[in-house]
Amino acid sequence: MHTLEDASDGVSYSFGSDQLDQIFGGIQGRNIHSRVRRGVPYSAIRSIVIPAVVNTLNLGRSVIMIPLPRAGIEQILTLLRLLVREEALSRRFRIGTTDARKENIGSLLFPITSQMAGASETVSKMLEQLRKESVDGEVLMIQSISLLENMYATETEHLLGRLADRVAMLQQESKDSLMFLMQSDSVLRSRILALSDHYMKMLVRDRSVVVMGEKPSTVAHVLEHDPSNPFLPALIPIV
């Protein structure tokens, strides 16, 4: 398990990977944005997201997750159950779904409805519950802008306003951290980037997945699976 010390912020969130923490400095500040180009396999995205979720839960903190549209919720839960105790999941982890048929999976899921106001209220209530269960009252929120953009395509300005409000609340009133996941062709891309303290991008180049920081800038790295631990990424610098 990993924690990071930050001179201005106390304990910061870790990616759950020593390599990612060394390259990007952990999940710094209040929010980080990951911009994903078309063609990047979800397995590559998952290799960055899942270690952060596992590390946060195993440290006693809470996690709320709104995954990318093509993410398999059952597969995410299967992976987490291999690495996190069931009690920790049931108390401190929630994942959103737009598919009402998945509600029978159990209490780990919450519905994302077509009504934005109702969905936002559900997330706010969930955050308050998870803060109470967290060892230090802090929550890591992983949020797919792409899914929300698809759900509320006719209300993009309203959606942006709600996201901006959530970022402002995190910056001013809590020590939670927020990770945005978004496709690079999102119509909200430039405005979401303006809300983010830090961001990285993922793309496919010569059939390899490449990860690099843009704010702040970092060396580009090829992302592979760590041969000694398939749940962790291995990053090889491109020189």
pLDDT digits (tens, 9 = 90+) for 14-73: 899 999 998 888 875 556 778 788 889 988 999 999 999 999 999 999 999 998 877 788
- Cβ contact 37:201 at 8 Å: yes
Q: What is the DSSP letter of 55?
A: H
Tokens of 164: 């901006």
Cα 193 from Cα 213, distance rounded (Å)? 13
Alpha-carbon distances of 156 from 64, 148, 192, rounded to whole Å: 22, 9, 12
pTM for the model: 0.87
pLDDT value of position 171: 66
Residue 4 confidence (pLDDT) above 60: no
Question: Domain 4-207's class?
Answer: alpha beta
* Best CA proximity match to 192, nearest among 176, 203, 181: 181
Identify residue 108 by its one-letter amino acid code.
L
- What digits encode the pLDDT tens for the residues 201-217? 999 999 899 999 988 89
Residue 239 confidence (pLDDT) above 50: yes
Strand partners for 26: none
Residue ranges covered by each domain of the chain:
4-207
The β-bridge relationship of strands 109-111 and 31-36 is unpaired
- What digits encode the pLDDT tens for the residues 104-151? 556 898 888 888 888 888 888 898 999 999 999 989 999 888 888 888
Cα 202 from Cα 204, distance rounded (Å)? 7
Strand partners for 34: 181, 200
- Cβ contact 44:37 at 8 Å: no
